[in-house]
Each structure stands twice: as C-alpha cells, then as structure tokens.
Amino acid sequence: MSAPDAAALAGLVRRDVVLIVAVLMDGPPGEPFQPGPLQRRWRTGGPKEVVSNARRRAAYTSTRLDPLLWAEGVRWHRELDGAALLPPSPARFELSAIELVRLDEAARAALWDMGAPPDADGVAVLHGSLPPDPPARLPRTLEECADVDPHHGEGDQRTWVSRVLPPGCRIAASEREAVHGTLVTAGDGGLPTRFDGDEHDGWEPADQWLWAMQHATCYPPLADALEQLQGRRLPLSGKVRGVAGLRGLTLVATHPDPGPGASDNYYDGTSYQLATLHTDALALARLQQIVLDAFGDEVARIGAHEPRRRKVAQLERDLLVFRRSYWSAGFGRQRPADAVTRLWCQDAGLPEAVQGLVDDLAELSRQVQAAETETTNAILGLLAAVGLPLTVGLAVWQGLPEAGAASLARMLVVTAVATAVLVTFFPGLRRLFVDLFRRGGRRGGRRNGRRNGRRRNGDR
C-alpha cells in the first residue's frame, strides 16, 4: 500500500454495513437465535441510555409496526462475539450479528395458498463492516460483499451467506444482490476526495462518497449524476448526508468522527440508527416487494386460464389485508426512516405494482362475472328451449283420448324436433348452447391435465 493510501485509510473511522437478503424459512430458528430484534445501546451507561428493544422501537415509532417487524413470532437475532465470531466472507465482509425477519402469519398463509410455493417469505439481515481496504477500493469491496449471484465468483459469497444462516433458512432462488446500508466516516481532515477532473467540479467529497457507495462502483459519475443524487436525499442533519434507492441506503459524515465511544460523539447515534430504524425501513421495503412479487406471479398464473370466482375473491381479500398492514405501515414521526422505505419502493416500482394488481384483479372479477352471466343465460336458454316444447307436448298428450306409451313417444319426438328448430333458427340461443358446452369441455380437459400431471409427478 502506498503512503497516500495508508494515510487515507488511517483517516476512515467507520465502515458499517448491513446486508439484507431475501430468504425462505421452514420455521422459527432454534438456538443460538433469540426472539425479537437485535438490541443496540446508545449513550451506554449514561442517564440518557437508549436500548433498541421491541418495546422501545414501537413506542418511538408506531405500534402498528410491532407485529410486522419486531414481535417474537416474526423476528429473531443472534449476536456474534468472542468465540462465536465467524471468519470473514470470501469478499472479506466481517459479520457481527444476524437477524431474521419473517412475514406475519396472514401474509405467509396468503403466499402458501397460491398455486406455486413462494420464492421467499422473509429477509436475513447481516450486520458487520467492510474490511480496511484503501478508500479507492471500498465501493468495489461493497459490491463484492453484496453479490450473492451463484454465477459470480463460483458462488463463493452466496455459499458463505447460506452457511451463516440457521438450518431451515435458505436464500431465495431468485436473489442475486443483497440490499445494503452503509455508513462511512472519517477522522481529522474528513473524507478524501474520490474523483478528480474538471467534469466533476462542484462535487463535494461527501457527495462523491454518497454516489460511489450507493452504486457500489469505482467508476466516476456521469454529468447528470449529481441531479439524480439530489432526488434521493434523506431529511438528515447537516452532520450526515444520506441517499436511498434500489441498491440500498448510504450515509456519510460531513464532519470529523472522533471515534466510537468518544464523549458525546454524534456518529455513535448515526451508527445506532443505521443498525436499528434504518435497517427496519429497508427490511420493511423488501418484505413489501416479496409479497407483491408473489401476488404478481399468482395473478399471471390464474389469468392464463379461465378465472374462478373463489380464487379471485381470495386474492382481492389478501391484497386488501396487505395494503392495510405492510403497505400502509409507517414509522410515525421518524421521517428519515419513512423516506428510506419510500425512496426504495419508488426505485423498485412497487407503487406501480400495487396499482397494476388492483387493476388486474378488477379485470379478472369482471371476466368472472361475465362468464357466470353467460353460464346463467345458457342454462335459462336450455330450460326455455327444452322445457317449453316439453310442457306443451305433455299438456297435449294428457288431453288425448288414448294417452299411451306410443303417443308419448311420438310427443317426445315432436318435442326434440321443436327444440332442434329453436336452437337452429335462433343464433343467440345456439351461441349460448355452444359456449356452455365448450366451457364445460375446457374445464374437464384442465382437470384431466392436472390429474395426469400429478400422476406423472408421483411416478417420478
């Protein structure tokens, strides 16, 4: 390492990182995991000490979040220290604690009631820090730590993450990149400048670090990058700048950091907020995405066939419950946490996804009603085409002097001919008959196909 890099490295004080990965859980984890959120302490030992337990977080934000994020049935944690410390990951991520946040019972039931098993039903939160790399290398290191693609680096980072998770908890099959939250601070002299050149005039060191760590890249920004950065800023104090988006959350210091544990150190509080409420905000956004992705897949699946009233109605109820719980949940007076969730969801296109699901389910409901109306009309037409000639024929037959079997047979023949004439010369009635029997044939074919598919799966 060169002398300038060594000097810059010595100036970096915090390299805090939180990685959030979508997972599928078979059930609650056993020991050494404990129920509830990870407990962090701020102003340790003083009269204003703050402990981040579930009760404190609910009182500080909103009680509506407790059953979604902090209750014993949806969250567990494990803190690693001493002999429990694990070796760094292949990307040299230094793990210090693990949290698991699972969807509540209603959301899980909705996912498992769908036609295909869910890809994920919760998130794993990995707390730790980046290795002491030179500042020029740090964004690239963050990218490697967040990369859980099985096709990158022979899947070593993904394998490592899978190993630190408890038994019965596995990374979602579709997961390729962890959402990350980072905090970077520096000592005397502040953060070093990352990009030189006339094209980056007006970029303060804090903004340069925000852009590089948010996008996890060492490449210089484009001309309009600063304007894009402004649109993702969080409402924070002057000592910290932050942005949030699809990649995650980035916080950087604008003043020197005297180091963890220093008297009245402002950045101890920033580190505390990252590990607690800001992480909760990212976890909430990822849980929202998991549910909406599952809903979208299910709507596409049932839309490929003739929708059934019971299934569409169930999806409408489940979506309503989701919108009144996870989707409408907020962090009370904690505007920065709400802004993290909102900005991440906007970048991920979740508001559009919710509106699309509402529109699609409304269209499916319309199709169900139209199909049921057609079936009802066909049944009424069948009753009219068959019942009217039959009723008239029976009345005539009963009035005959000799109402025997032969005359009854002749009457039934006449009735059948009359029915055929009605169906032949009335196009609307003929169409109702054709639609009725065609729909019945399609349903029978689908049932046989599913039965044959189950039989083939059983043979395998």
SS3 sequence, the chain?
A: CCHHHHHHHHHEEEEEEEEEEEEEECCCCCCCCEECCCCCEECCCCCCCEECCHHHHHHHCCHHHHHHHHCCCCEEEEECCHHHCCCCCCCCCEEEEEEEEECCHHHHHHHHCCCCCCCCCEEEEEEEECCCCCCCCHHHHHHHHHECCCCCHHHHHHHHHHHHCCCCEEECCCCCECEEEEEEEECCCCCCCCCCCHHHCCCCHHHHHHHHHHHCCCCCCCCCHHHHHHCCECCCCCCEEEEEECCEEEEEECCCCCCCCCCCCHHHHHHHHHHHHHHHHHHHHHHHHHHHHHHHHHHHHHHCCCCCHHHHHHHHHHHHHHHHCCCCCCCCCCHHHHHHHHHHHHHHCHHHHHHHHHHHHHHHHHHHHHHHHHHHHHHHHHHHHHHHHHHHHHHHHHCCCCCCHHHHHHHHHHHHHHHHHHHHHCHHHHHHHHHHHHHHHHHHHHHHHHHHHHHHHHHC
Please, which contacts does 389-394 make with residues 24 or more away whose CB atoms are closer than 8 Å?
Answer: 389/414, 389/415, 389/418, 389/419, 389/422, 390/415, 393/418
Q: How many CB atoms lie within 10 A of CB 180?
A: 23
Q: How many CB atoms lie within 10 A of CB 270?
A: 24
Tell me the C-alpha distance between 180 and 183, whole Å. Answer: 10
Provide the token pair at 256: 């020197």
Burial grade of 230 (CB within 10 A; 0-12, 13-18, 19 or more): exposed
Q: Are 225 and 231 in contact (CB under 8 A)?
A: no
Tell me the C-alpha distance between 104 and 277, whole Å. Answer: 19
Tell me the C-alpha distance between 88 and 160, whole Å. Answer: 9
pLDDT at residue 311, as a whole number = 85
Let me know the angle formed at the C-alpha of 335 by 331 and 340, rounded to the nearest 5 degrees: 80
Q: Give Cα separations from 382 to 56, 75, 324, 434 (angstroms).
A: 67, 58, 45, 11
Tell me the C-alpha distance between 232 and 340, whole Å. Answer: 9
Each residue's pLDDT tens digit in the chain (460 positions)?
A: 443 344 344 478 999 999 999 999 999 999 999 999 999 888 776 777 888 889 999 998 999 999 999 999 999 999 987 656 778 899 999 999 999 999 999 999 999 999 888 999 999 999 999 999 888 899 999 999 999 999 998 899 999 999 999 999 999 999 999 999 999 999 887 888 877 665 566 788 899 999 999 999 888 888 788 888 888 999 998 899 999 999 999 999 999 999 887 888 899 999 999 999 999 999 999 999 999 999 999 998 887 777 777 888 889 999 999 999 999 999 998 999 999 999 999 999 999 999 999 999 888 888 777 666 666 666 666 666 666 676 777 676 666 666 666 776 777 777 777 777 766 766 666 666 666 566 555 555 445 544 444 443 444 3
Q: Are 2 and 49 in contact (CB under 8 A)?
A: no
| Single pTM value for the model | 0.82
Question: Nearest Cα to 68, choosing from 340, 291, 295, 235?
Answer: 291
Q: Are 101 and 111 in contact (CB under 8 A)?
A: no
Provide the token pair at 57: 């977080």
